[in-house]
């Protein structure tokens, strides 16, 4: 898609992606995120690869893998490259201390594994994603497909203990079929409205048998590049 054809929202995402690309150097091993903003980063990275930039990317989803492969970005796995120099990904919400809600695209498990393997995580987002308090975007919780009703009860109990309450919805695809992640799991989206204590909620969810991972990313992002009407702003974790 040409720059002239981008909508205002997509143009902001591309601006953030372009700024993140300034942190990429030849020889780097890169985690490649998933989602509409990360897609712009992969597009721009591919252009640089075509100009001679030498990198290896580790994709966080099969969608990103297919995109990167089609554009000629060299790819590897975390088994081949267990330590990455940099991970660039988007976010559904960016809260105080750069705590994130991620997983709207369904890739939160791989995204968190890749981000944790990186020496630095840069998040790219448009200004609408920056919030004073997390929770307006439903929190994705990845679960196994065995005993979902029991898992749901465990999630509800842990959420109440962390001061959260809201409807848990089994994610479905646009065609109505149940959404299944790249790892073969299901996702429950938790509409809490407000997450006052992300740390407590994350700890509680991690203790629920059957919960594989949740979309709270805490102490992972070191920098968030935000594109808005007034330009690009860089937020660094304190």
Nearest residue to 93 via CA among 136, 64, 61: 136
What phi, psi does 112 have (nearest 5°)? Answer: -70, -35
Distances (CA, A) of 23 to 34, 86, 88, 120, 180: 19, 9, 10, 11, 34
Residue in 111, 120, 142, 207 annotated catalytic: 111
Q: Tokens standing for 172?
A: 């479905």
Decide if 93 is catalytic: no
- Residue identified by tokens 């992972």 is 220
One pLDDT digit (tens) per residue for the chain, 238 residues: 445 588 999 999 999 999 999 999 999 999 999 999 999 999 999 999 999 999 999 999 999 999 999 999 999 999 999 999 999 999 999 999 999 999 999 999 999 999 999 999 999 999 999 999 999 999 999 999 999 999 999 999 999 999 999 999 999 999 999 999 999 999 999 999 999 999 999 999 999 999 999 999 999 999 999 999 999 999 999 7
Task: Tell me which residue of 76, 103, 78, 70 sits closest to 89, measured CA to CA.
Answer: 103
Listed in order, strand segments (DSSP E) in the chain are 29-32, 56-59, 86-89, 93-94, 100-101, 121-126, 139-143, 167-170, 186-191, 211-214, 216-217, 223-228, 231-236
């Amino acid at each position: 898609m040409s720059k002239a054809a981008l909508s205002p929202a997509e143009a902001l995402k591309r601006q953030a992606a372009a700024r993140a690309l300034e942190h990429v150097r030849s020889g780097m091993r890169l985690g490649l995120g998933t989602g509409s903003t990360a897609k712009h980063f992969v597009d721009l990275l591919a252009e640089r690869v075509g100009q001679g930039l030498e990198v290896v990317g580790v994709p966080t989803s099969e969608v990103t893998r297919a995109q990167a492969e089609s554009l000629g970005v060299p790819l590897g796995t975390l088994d081949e490259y267990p330590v990455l120099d940099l991970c660039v990904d988007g976010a559904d919400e960016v809260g105080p201390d750069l705590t994130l809600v991620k997983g709207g695209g369904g890739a939160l498990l791989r995204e968190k594994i890749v981000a944790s393997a990186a020496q630095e995580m840069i998040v790219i987002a448009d200004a609408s994603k920056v919030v004073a308090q997390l929770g307006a975007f439903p929190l994705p919780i990845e679960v196994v497909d065995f005993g979902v009703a029991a898992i749901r009860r465990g999630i509800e109990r842990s959420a109440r203990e962390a001061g959260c309450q809201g409807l848990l919805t089994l994610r479905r695809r646009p065609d109505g079929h149940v959404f299944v992640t790249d790892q073969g799991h299901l996702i429950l989206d938790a509409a809490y409205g407000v997450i006052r204590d992300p740390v407590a909620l994350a700890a509680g969810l991690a203790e629920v048998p059957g919960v594989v991972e949740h979309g709270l990313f805490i102490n992972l992002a070191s920098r968030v590049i935000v594109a808005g009407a007034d330009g690009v702003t860089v937020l660094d974790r304190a």
